[in-house]
Amino acid sequence: MDVRRVVIVAYEAAELLEIASVTSTLESANWHGALPYYEYRVATPGGHAITTATALTLDAQLALERVTGPLDTLLVAGGIGHEDAAGNPLVVGHVRRLARESRRVASVCTGSHILAAAGLLDGRRATTHWMQAQEMAARFPKVIVDPDPIFIRDGNIATSAGITAALDLTLAFVEEDNGTELARTVARNLVTYLQRPGNQAQMSMFVSAPSPANSLVKRTLEYIGAHLRDDLSTSALATEAGVSERHLTRLFLKHLGETPGRYVRLARTEAAAHLLASTSLPMASVAVRCGFGTAETLRQAFVDRYGIPPSRYRLTQAPAAG
């Protein structure tokens, strides 16, 4: 078995957690082979140590301009220094050069801006940190920016969402290279047994707080979360809130960018995802608990939200045995 050669491109104010998520995952995989699966190195301009986005210093093992292929994987980190790096001809030029000599090219978070600056994402679907997606789409109009998925594969190029999505992407690489069992073992070692499929949305509605500016909307969201199996039609919610359907819809669109009906469907789907990942309840029971009524209605909503059926989602979330 040949060791897979991985180079991680970093620069001033790159995000340390992203780099560590990649290297820790690869090193954990190496623990379980008779020989290492991966040889990984951090490359920076000039091979100089960098001050990361968290103000810690990180030494490099390679000078970016001296790296030569062939490489198995070239991965570009993100971080608050991504704009300077994307505007640096040395960084962009050598990323472009090394991409031609790599089997697989990837970026984490705003590292996608550097791939885009190198022209590697033209005509491709790509993602980035959800906060930077609009800026990326405006700056690189040839790139098809999708802010929702945790990571996207388009040909031999993969882009991922922000920071800890590096873990999901690298686990996906380990699974692709070495099989599901090793990937699950690594995930268990890292205490991240939930291996999220790439098309899972970056931002959960349950952790993205609604605007506190409107107390009625906030109360309605709390009511929805506590009554998922009840009648949550727009008319029922309007009655509960003491306003007209039209006014409630206007408030939801203003503060959430969703209609009440759409929000309810998303809330039920995410609640179902949680039950599928954390319980062994039959599909029909999950559907009833979350207000879908039937397993088929749940399946349709799940495919719309995550791009995979709930049965497949449950398999991807199962922790390794033992």
Helices 295-306 and 310-317: angle between axes, nearest 10 degrees: 70
Per-residue pLDDT at 1: 62
User: In this structure, how many other beta carbons lie within 10 angstroms of the beta carbon of residue 69?
Assistant: 15
Residues 81, 197: Cα–Cα separation, whole Å:
28
Long-range pairs of 144-149 with CB within 8 A, sequence gap ≥ 24? 147/202, 148/199, 148/201, 148/202, 149/198, 149/199, 149/200, 149/201, 149/202
Q: Is 158 exposed, middle or buried (0-12, 13-18, 19+ CB in 10 A)?
A: buried
Per-residue pLDDT of the chain (322 residues; tens, 9 = 90+): 689 999 999 999 999 999 999 999 999 999 988 789 999 999 999 999 999 998 999 999 999 999 999 999 999 999 999 999 999 999 999 999 999 999 999 999 999 999 999 999 999 999 998 888 889 999 999 999 988 788 889 999 999 988 888 888 999 899 899 988 888 888 888 877 445 555 555 555 554 544 446 889 888 987 888 788 899 999 999 999 999 999 999 999 988 888 999 999 998 998 888 788 767 888 998 899 899 989 999 999 988 887 788 888 887 665 443 3
Per-residue pLDDT at 70: 96
- Asked if residue 113 lies in contact with residue 142, where contact means CB atoms within 8 angstroms, the answer is no
Q: In this structure, which amino acid lies at residue 207?
A: V
Residues 125, 122: Cα–Cα separation, whole Å:
9
Residue 110 phi/psi, 5-degree rounding, is -80, 5
Radius of gyration in angstroms for the set of CA atoms belonging to the chain, rounded to a whole number: 22
Per-residue pLDDT at 276: 83
Token pair 């885009």: residue: 116
Tell me how far CA of residue 163 lies from CA of 74, 224, 281, in angstroms. 17, 30, 32
Per-residue pLDDT at 201: 56
Q: Which of 109, 133, 165, 264 is catalytic?
A: 109
Reading the block at residue 273, the tokens are: 């995802």
Task: Examine the residue annotation and report whether 290 is marked as an active-site residue of this protein.
Answer: no
The count of C-alpha atoms lying within 13 angstroms of the C-alpha of 259, restricted to the half-sphere facing its C-beta, is: 9
Tell me how far CA of residue 303 lies from CA of 199, 204, 306, 312, in angstroms. 10, 16, 5, 10
